[in-house]
Amino acid sequence: MNKGIVAILFIFLLQSQGDQKVQKAIDLARKVSDNVVDSVKATLFKELGKGGYLNAISACSNLAQDIIKAHQSKYGIYVRRVSEKYRNKLDKPDDYELVILRKLDELNKTGDLPQEYYEVVNEKDGRYLRYFKPLIVQPMCLNCHGTDEFLNKSIKDFLKEKYPEDKAVGYKAGDFRGAVSVKIKLSD
């Protein structure tokens, strides 16, 4: 084989290995973000069944971050729930996440929101997949994230006490609420 062809084949091989790595990272990001959504939802519905919205908000408040942490340690990757209008300060987006969240919000407004969004980005310490699973406000979410008339007094009191700087109210069904954000290192 002539050297030129060997070089081209080598580049193809490298490229396809790189693509495989990206694809694997996307698959993992999908799996982990779906798991986070399912686990939080399961907890929410279980606690609702046990004792209504006040019981559920108190349980979610205690358990949401534990669920996230359990996923971080199980998979050994960066995974969080993020929102521009966050309730828990731990869910405050980083600068990159904020740009993407705003973009997804705009896409939702025009009815063009994708099921998932991802990019490969270069950061100071390497190349990363950054993956987002958008979260949309459903009618039932309004009991804890809606406008004033949707919030019971007991929920309002709970929020005032536990999250005095809460930003996560005033939503309407169909609004973009935030995303599960995943970040996976691809190479140094």
Residues of the shown chain interacting with ligand HEC in the complex, contacts defined by CB under 6 A? 44, 53, 56-57, 60-61, 64-65, 81, 83, 86-88, 91, 135, 137-138, 140-141, 143-145, 168, 177-178
Q: Both tokens of residue 11?
A: 């580049």
Which CB, 77 or 137, lies closer to ligand HEC?
A: 137
Q: At what angle do helices 153-162 and 3-75 cross, to 10 degrees?
A: 110
Which CB, 33 or 128, lies closer to ligand HEC?
A: 33
C-beta separation of 144 from 156 below 8 A: no
Give CA–CA dist 147/168, Å, rounded. 10
Give least dist CB 116 to ligand HEC, A: 15
Which CB, 53 or 132, lies closer to ligand HEC?
A: 53
What is the number of other CB atoms lying within 10 angstroms of the CB of residue 132? 23
Give least dist CB 126 to ligand HEC, A: 27
Give least dist CB 92 to ligand HEC, A: 8
Give least dist CB 74 to ligand HEC, A: 18
Give least dist CB 121 to ligand HEC, A: 22
C-beta separation of 171 from 127 below 8 A: no
* Residue 131: DSSP 8-state: E
Give CA–CA dist 69/120, Å, rounded. 24
Which CB, 61 or 127, lies closer to ligand HEC?
A: 61
* Residue 86: DSSP 8-state: -
The total number of residues shown for the chain amounts to 188
Which CB, 22 or 136, lies closer to ligand HEC?
A: 136
